[in-house]
Amino acid sequence: MRHIISVLLENESGALSRVAGLFSARSFNIESLSVAPSEDLTASRMTIVTSGNDAVIEQIVKQLDKLVDVIEVSEITSSDHIEREIVFVKIKDSDTENENLKSLKTNEFLKIHKAENGHAIIECVDSPENVNEFINTVKDIAIKIIRSGAVGIGS
């Protein structure tokens, strides 16, 4: 089962390496990883998407919590939460009139950015499920697809 783990950690050299090393040493896979400054300027928020049964995830959380640089760890997918991903899709500018895109243009989570080189960039920010659906809709006209990892917050 897919899980999102939120980690608040000190902005110290090697902190990310220690977290990644913990996953690697125990043969846990990181599906996506996002790190950005938090509301506290001395700390960063790391969002890790991984898979495993509840016992495995509980073990990961306990091991993360033991790391020196870690301030707080929480597994957010086991309770109410909001989760989003972003994807950019480059297409030919002429493909913005594609029938599949016409039906998507009313989607509040999509923006189309015109580029000067005859291309357009479509930005979609939505739940991972809806991002998957969007990618399936545009994959035949896509020149390039760039996708972030998920970020989330417990509600």
Are residues 147 and 95 part of one domain? yes
Residue that terminates a domain, selected from 75, 109, 128: 75
Q: The whole model's pTM is what?
A: 0.84
CA 116/CA 113 separation, integer angstroms: 10
Residue that terminates a domain, selected from 28, 50, 75: 75
Domain encompassing residue 11? 2-75
What confidence score (pLDDT) does residue 83 get? 95
For the chain, give the percent of residues with pLDDT over 70.
92
pLDDT per position as a tens digit, 60-100: 999 999 998 999 999 999 899 999 999 999 988 777 666 66
Are residues 92 and 67 part of one domain? no
CA 14/CA 6 separation, integer angstroms: 18
As for how many domains the chain has, the answer is 2
How far are the Cα atoms of 80, 86, 100, 140 from residue 109, in angstroms, in the given order?
21, 10, 16, 20
What's the angle, vertex CA 38, arms to CA 81 and CA 7, rounded to 5?
55
- pLDDT surpasses 90 at 26: no
Are residues 71 and 108 part of one domain? no
How far are the Cα atoms of 36, 37, 42 from residue 70, in angstroms, in the given order?
15, 14, 12
The CATH number of the domain holding residue 141 is 3.30.70.1150
CA 71/CA 8 separation, integer angstroms: 5
The CATH number of the domain holding residue 49 is 3.30.70.260
